[in-house]
Structure 1
Amino acid sequence: MPRFVLLFSVGLCLILIFGGKSEKIEFRAITFIRNGLEETLDYIRTNTYRSNVDCAFGVALVKALIKTSYKNGTHVMDNSSLRILEKCKNIIKESSLIFENSRRNGNNWKFKNLVDTNIWNKPIDYHKHELLPQWIHSENVIFELYHKLGNQKIHNSDVCLHEIINSTRNYQRHKVPCIVSIACWNTFFRNGEGHGYYLTHKLLLLEVAKARGCIINEAFYDKQVTQICSSIMSEIVALKNYDKIHEYFDLFLEQVLLCGYEGFQEFIQSNWLFYVLKSQRPSGCFSDDLTDKKKSRLRRDLTYFEDGCNDHTTALGAAVLALYYNFVVNEENLPINYK
């Protein structure tokens, strides 16, 4: 079967820089972030044996983001931070007993190859990027795209994920070309187009490939990521304009986390941080839909608990808080833009 290798160069594109009013996240906000993060980790620990492997993956990202917050040596890790790392370590240890020998939905290979803090440790260079201009969709178009196009394609992402992992089995020794099938290339890597979870899965697959030592042309990677995060920002703006973010809260968290992890400072906003903290339940968990509407869920791999929260959104909430924690510790003097 013909295969593609992710080694490509790119041309120049027209750009549009989003503007906005500057504001700052005060360093003292880190107390609220840490408290919220600890409460979420406590909730996850209580429900570890009822959670999917995605939840353990989110905790691995939390651990990596906290650890890399202190790598530049400008701050000393305090007891609260050490306590967060210990909680992450315990959750991952307990999760290993559940998933390492579980073949259900590929839990064993996902846990072994993704729930690895070391591959997600990286210094994040936060700065404003030159986001590409995008169309702002109507409310009806957004609904159609999220519920039809996105759902039809994201279920194939596990196949492509498995191909990437198979190509990078020796990533700890040396980087290797990341070989994927034509179907995977056309669906997830050919361009940065898409909507909703389809877009975030495209970005996640790129990040997994890079984290596991896949050789990827940097210009190709930067172009894809910029196109994806530009589209994601336009969707967030549209959802905000139509007052719909609360109905797609799980997606919103996934978008902020993945683009923020790439250093897009546009996704680090103080009003978003406080929106996330405000949306957290007293128990520390998060729900994917902040409304009281009964509607079909956008994702099939969530475990819902009695309180209305679920494992996927709760883990995303923890990871987003850890992302903001990472930013505040390392970039406390940078302005936070875009209301």
Structure 2
Amino acid sequence: MKTSLFWISLFSVIFCSTINGTKLKLQNIKEAKHLLGLTLNSLKSSLEFLNKEYNHVNLDAIIGTRLVDGTLKVLLYHIRQDLESWSLDESTIKHIQDLQMLAETLSDKAIPYVQQSDPMYYSRLGTLLAKDFWTLDFASKDFYSEDFLSAWLPQPGEAMHEQDSDNCITELLGTGANTRAKCQISFECWQKMTEKGYSGYSLTHQTFYLMIAYQMGCHEEMNKHRTLLGQPPPADLVKAYCASTFLEAEEIYKNKFPELRRDLFMEQAALCGAMGYRWFFSPDWLLEIISWQDQSSGCYKGETITESEVKMRETMEQHSTSRVKREEKVLTDGCLSHKTTVAASALSMYVRYITEYLQMMFERDQMYTDA
């Protein structure tokens, strides 16, 4: 089905301005193709680094490479469905295909090492590494002014520990301490994982949780709990989380991307981008992400995030430790496992959205030519 001029125009406006009206610079097909080339090269460097380190990365990193694999696989499927409507040459399509295959291969190779290095963690969350678990195909969509009526501004501090989120995810997977059946969602976990007002990693993990619940087919259980609490459908919950996440991403941008917020910023784009929300993607933000990449290795470095820096809200925890967050791991030459893999995930989303933008611009030009 051909895209209407209304939607082409709307997408051009959205892609060229953020909610606060900042003017961006992606104006034509030539510039979009240039930006796509930069993104593909940056993603290639990240994946090649992770491929070299496949026997050292942790489970969280492979979730990221599986997300890259799934994102590019779905994109290639749509391209092949109607090649004539995509303004892509054969070399670009092959580049995307090569990166998808690299993400798939390195994920497959890494799993035995992840299982061996942390068997307990793998037994609980290893399902998330299954091939095609992350082949998400949510339609691209925008935020509208009414979507922000249910959103909230970011608040300092975290509302939950990593372990809290993990325990609730195991209920979905059927790998928890008290159940071996999937989708056995406790009221306590549902309430915790859908509470309004979270920010930071607690907020992104809410989106992550609902993504997993959707992939596991837990629709009946989700609807039962949300009905009891008078909540909207899960899709509307995700919309509220991602609208609030976008406001927080804007705050990170306005504060000039503090070092310790960059990992979170890329995780925000990766997760909400996977759910179809394209407002996280702009040339300015993309060029920032690429600028953080180590040019010699392809990885992402920086300060390791500790639990004392990702502080719990004072009402939740009075004492904070200096233990490095579990999901992060320092690799060769100070490269960071989680930061590199969320960068790769975010970059794969940029590949998707720039490619979709190119398709819309191509169809617009075709319409004008036909007219």
Structure 2 CA distance for aligned equivalents of residues 235 and 87 of structure 1:
32
Deviations 1:189-209 (A, max 9, x none): 2x3430100001111000011
SS at match of 2:133: helix
TM-superposed CA distance for 1:266, in Å, is 1.1
Separation in structure 1 between the aligned mates of residue 360 and residue 120 of structure 2, nearest angstrom: 42
Structure 2 distance, partners of 1:158, 1:135, is 24
Residue identity in the other structure for 1:325: V
Give the partner amino acid of 2:100: L
**What are the within-5 Å matches in structure 2 for residues 180-329 of structure 1?**
180-189=185-194, 191-215=195-219, 216-217=222-223, 220-282=233-295, 283-287=297-301, 289=303, 296-298=308-310, 299-329=325-355
Matched residues in 2 for 1:154 and 1:177: separation?
Answer: 20
1:81 Cα deviation (Å)? 2.3
The 1-side partners of 2:344 and 2:257 are apart by 22
| Aligned match for 1:95, one of 104, 107, 110 | 110
Question: Which letter maps to 1:194?
Answer: Y
| 1:277-315 deviations in Å (ceiling 9; x for gaps) | 11111111113559xx99955333311135332111111
Higher helix share: 2
Aligned partner of 1:66: which letter?
L
Aligned residue runs from structure 1 range 105-116, under 5 A: 105-111=120-126, 113-116=127-130
Map 1:139-154; keep pairs closer than 5 Å: 145-146=156-157, 149-150=158-159, 152-154=160-162
CA–CA distance in structure 2, aligned partners of residues 125 and 323 of structure 1: 13
Gaps of 5+ in 2: 1-17, 84-89, 227-231, 311-324, 362-371
8 Å contact from structure 2 (residues 125, 175) kept in 1 = no
Secondary structure of residue in 2 paired with 1:37: helix
The answer on 1:132 being equivalent to 2:148 is: yes
How big is the shift at 1:121? Answer: 1.6
Higher relative contact order (CA 8 A, sep 6+): 1
Partner of 1:57: 63
Quick check: which has more Rg, 1 or 2? 2
Distance 2:184 2:25 in 1: 43
Q: Is the alpha carbon distance of 1:244 and 1:289 closer, same or farther for their aligned partners in structure 2, counting shifts above 3 Å?
A: farther
Percent identity of the aligned residues?
A: 21
CA distance in 2, matches of 1:238, 1:89: 34
What corresponds to 1:11 in structure 2?
A: none
SS in 2 for 1:83: helix
Distance 2:46 2:236 in 1: 34
Q: Any stretches of 5+ residues in structure 1 without a counterpart?
A: 1-16, 169-175
The CA distance in 2 between the partners of 1:248 and 1:29, in whole Å, is 24
Deviation larger for 266-275 or 23-32 = 23-32
Mapped to 2, the partners of 1:331 and 1:309 lie a distance apart of 32
| Aligned mates of 1:188, 1:82 — CA distance in 2 | 36
Structure 2 counterpart of 1:155, one-letter code = Q
TM-score where L is the length of structure 1: 0.78
Task: Name the counterpart of 1:156.
Answer: 164
> Is 1:179 paired with 2:184?
yes
Structure 1 residues 274 and 120, CA gap change in structure 2 (3 angstroms)? same
| Letter paired with 2:342 | L
Moved over 6 A (4+): none
